[in-house]
């Protein structure tokens, strides 16, 4: 099978030019002007952007959490991702406390058999000991899974203590992996939740008030300190606020690099939503913040302090959200976003002039591929790279709605938003995945992507 994409504006993290892209089998085999190779299919990309498929390194598919499961599984979740231009996701495997990493891996391998898009896993280490340390080494060296997620919150379910964190970092560093973190101070948050509940303050607003900025800033600084002490590469997931960003900025003063991910919602939504009757839709951890934090995050992207924009996609049906209708602490945390990240960041970031087109590609695709050991197979348009390609109409306007989205969730967190810029055609490893708003690939097409060492230079 061969495909010729004609006359598009090819944009990567470092270049921007008009060219044709020729694909044979699963990879890109030629890039140039006026290519005339024979092709089974020709795609006219005149006036369109031709970019690397999006990589979302933070999604939770079919995940057991807070007494229920996130509502998108590998089939619906990766299909929705493809509709929005994201060709690969990295999901989280959760170790059950007291159990092995390998048992968790097997559970997730079963779940992911029906993936349509490509995927990999981060392994959340929720219980660290000598046996788990050996498994960490096997994950890196045998399984091609090099990133380990830790939680500094959700005590009793997912949280590890600082002693375990430092031990894990030492093992991961020695074997060329990377430690990622949900950086919030779990003890402070738990005591604020208890206080608000005791005072009868039970609405979604108190989810927000139980996780003030300092809880994230403190934990981000502590994580950076532990990385500095151990020399381990590290990555802070879903950063939301100026205080946490400043903790990473301070770490640069001792010549340290800590990778940072924010998520599309923290760039475009703010905490005023928690005062609405349907505030539970945006209950996620950490919570949405203030406008000044959006400004800090956009600046952080341009300053190179924030390298990645993911989603933390963790959708729940409205009925699931109702589990917490009388108590914010029982609302399953998370919101649906996997489908709209590429279009939201383009519309709110590139179209408004906040970030350049090259920066857009960098934060939505290339940097995740580099940090998580997949570059240059993924995250760029180059000869020999996987033909994961997004053909994007930069001027098309469209309206987001639960009536038309493809995620398995019955509301949209962006209902009625008018966006400029739309996914038109998506290729995954040389196959047409999305065209004419239809998905042309079947469950099982998605491949597990083995990963190599992290690239520490961005
Ligand atoms: O609210 C969130 N973020 N839900 C998913 C779990 C996590 O903390 O990432
Ligand atoms: Zn988290
Ligand atoms: Zn998450």
Tens-digit pLDDT profile for residues 250-270: 999 999 999 999 999 999 999
Would the CB of 207 count as within 6 Å of ligand 1?
A: no
409 CA → ligand 2 middle, Å: 20
Helix (H, G, I), strand (E, B) or coil at 99: coil
Would the CB of 285 count as within 6 Å of ligand 1?
A: yes
Please state which CATH number belongs to domain 53-371: 3.20.20.140
Pick from 92, 153, 237, 238 the residue to mutate for probing ligand 1's pocket: most ligand atoms within 8 Å of its CB.
238
Nearest CA to ligand 1 atom 9: 312
Give residues with Cβ within 8 angstroms of 156, minimum separation 6: none
Say what the pLDDT of residue 454 is. 85
Per CATH, domain 2-51+385-395+408-439 is 2.30.40.10: yes
58 CA → ligand 3 middle, Å: 6
Question: Has residue 248 got a pLDDT over 90?
Answer: yes
Say what the pLDDT of residue 397 is. 98
Parse the chain into domains and list their residue ranges.
2-51+385-395+408-439, 53-371
Average pLDDT (222-243) is 98
238 CA → ligand 2 middle, Å: 7
Would the CB of 94 count as within 6 Å of ligand 1?
A: no
Nearest CA to ligand 1 atom 3: 285
Task: Tell which residue, 52, 118, 77, 73, has the closest CA to residue 339.
Answer: 77
Say what the pLDDT of residue 455 is. 82
Banded model confidence at residue 298, pLDDT cuts 50, 70, 90: very high
Would the CB of 333 count as within 6 Å of ligand 1?
A: yes
Nearest ligand to the CA of 236 is 2
pTM above threshold 0.95: yes
CA distances from 231 to 4, 228, 397 (A): 46, 5, 47
Nearest CA to ligand 1 atom 4: 334
Helix axes 213-230, 242-252, angle to 10 degrees: 20
Average pLDDT (183-187) is 98
Average pLDDT (370-394) is 98
Nearest CA to ligand 1 atom 5: 334
Distance CA 375, CA 368 (A): 9
Say what the pLDDT of residue 268 is. 98
Q: For residue 42, report the phi and psi dihedrals to the nearest 5 degrees.
A: -115, 130
Classify strands 259-263 and 308-310 as parallel, antiparallel or unpaired: parallel
123 CA → ligand 2 middle, Å: 13
Question: Has residue 280 got a pLDDT over 90?
Answer: yes
443 CA → ligand 2 middle, Å: 28
Nearest ligand to the CA of 310 is 3
183 CA → ligand 2 middle, Å: 8
Would the CB of 60 count as within 6 Å of ligand 1?
A: yes
Could you tell me if 328 and 200 are in contact, meaning their C-beta atoms sit under 8 angstroms apart? Answer: no
110 token code pair:
């079963």
Taking only the tens place, the pLDDT of each residue in 318-330 is 999 999 999 999 9
Banded model confidence at residue 208, pLDDT cuts 50, 70, 90: very high
Say what the pLDDT of residue 134 is. 98
Provide the H-helix boundaries in 279-351.
291-302, 318-321, 341-345
Question: Has residue 335 got a pLDDT over 80?
Answer: yes
CA pseudo-torsion sign 434, 439, 440, 446: positive
Percent with pLDDT over 90 in the chain: 99
Question: Has residue 457 got a pLDDT over 80?
Answer: no
Would the CB of 314 count as within 6 Å of ligand 1?
A: yes
Question: Has residue 453 got a pLDDT over 90?
Answer: no
Distance CA 21, CA 23 (A): 7
156 CA → ligand 2 middle, Å: 15
Would the CB of 182 count as within 6 Å of ligand 1?
A: yes
Average pLDDT (336-340) is 98
Taking only the tens place, the pLDDT of each residue in 133-160 is 999 999 999 999 999 999 999 999 999 9
Banded model confidence at residue 450, pLDDT cuts 50, 70, 90: very high
Say what the pLDDT of residue 327 is. 98
Could you tell me if 382 and 361 are in contact, meaning their C-beta atoms sit under 8 angstroms apart? Answer: no
406 token code pair:
């493809």
Taking only the tens place, the pLDDT of each residue in 32-68 is 999 999 999 999 999 999 999 999 999 999 999 999 9
Averaged confidence pLDDT in the chain? 98
217 CA → ligand 3 middle, Å: 18
Nearest ligand to the CA of 265 is 1
């Amino acid at each position: 099978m061969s495909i010729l994409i004609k006359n598009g504006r090819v944009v990567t993290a470092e270049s921007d030019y008009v060219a044709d892209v020729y694909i044979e089998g699963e990879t890109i085999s030629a890039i140039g002007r006026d290519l005339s190779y024979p092709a089974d299919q020709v795609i006219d990309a005149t006036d369109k952007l031709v970019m690397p498929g999006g990589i979302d390194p933070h999604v939770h598919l079919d995940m057991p959490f807070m007494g229920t499961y996130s509502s998108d599984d590998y089939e619906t979740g990766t299909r929705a991702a493809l509709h929005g231009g994201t060709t690969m996701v990295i999901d989280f495997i959760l170790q059950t406390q007291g159990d092995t990493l390998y048992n968790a891996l097997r559970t997730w391998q079963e779940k992911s058999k029906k993936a349509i898009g490509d995927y990999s896993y981060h392994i959340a280490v929720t219980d660290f000991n000598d046996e788990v340390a050996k498994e960490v080494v096997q994950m890196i060296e045998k399984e091609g899974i090099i990133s380990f997620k830790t939680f500094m919150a959700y005590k009793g379910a997912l949280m590890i203590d600082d002693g375990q964190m430092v031990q894990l970092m030492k093992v991961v560093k020695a074997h060329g992996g990377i430690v990622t973190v949900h950086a919030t101070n779990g003890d402070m948050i738990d005591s604020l939740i208890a206080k608000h509940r005791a005072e009868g303050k039970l609405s979604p607003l108190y989810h927000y008030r139980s996780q003030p900025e300092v809880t994230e800033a403190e934990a981000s600084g502590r994580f950076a300190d532990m990385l500095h002490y151990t020399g381990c590469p590290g990555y802070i997931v879903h950063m939301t606020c100026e205080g946490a960003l400043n903790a990473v900025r301070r770490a640069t003063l001792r010549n340290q690099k800590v990778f940072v991910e924010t998520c599309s919602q923290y760039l475009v939504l703010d905490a005023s939503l928690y005062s609405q009757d349907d505030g539970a839709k945006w209950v996620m951890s950490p919570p949405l913040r203030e406008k000044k934090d959006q400004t800090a995050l956009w600046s952080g992207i341009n300053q190179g302090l924030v390298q990645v924009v993911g989603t933390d996609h963790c959708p729940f049906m409205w009925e699931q959200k109702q589990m917490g209708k009388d108590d914010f602490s029982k609302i399953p945390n998370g919101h649906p976003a996997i489908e709209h990240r590429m279009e939201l960041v383009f519309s709110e970031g590139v179209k408004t002039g906040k970030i350049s087109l090259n920066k857009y590609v960098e934060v939505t695709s290339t940097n995740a591929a580099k940090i998580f050991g997949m570059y240059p197979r993924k995250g760029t348009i180059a000869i020999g790279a996987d033909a994961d390609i997004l053909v994007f109409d930069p001027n098309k306007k469209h309206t987001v709605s639960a009536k038309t989205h493809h995620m398995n969730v019955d509301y949209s967190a962006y209902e009625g938003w008018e966006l400029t810029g739309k996914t038109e055609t998506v290729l995954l490893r040389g196959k047409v995945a999305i065209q004419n708003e239809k998905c042309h690939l079947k469950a099982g097409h998605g491949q597990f992507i083995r990963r190599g060492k992290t690239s520490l230079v961005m």
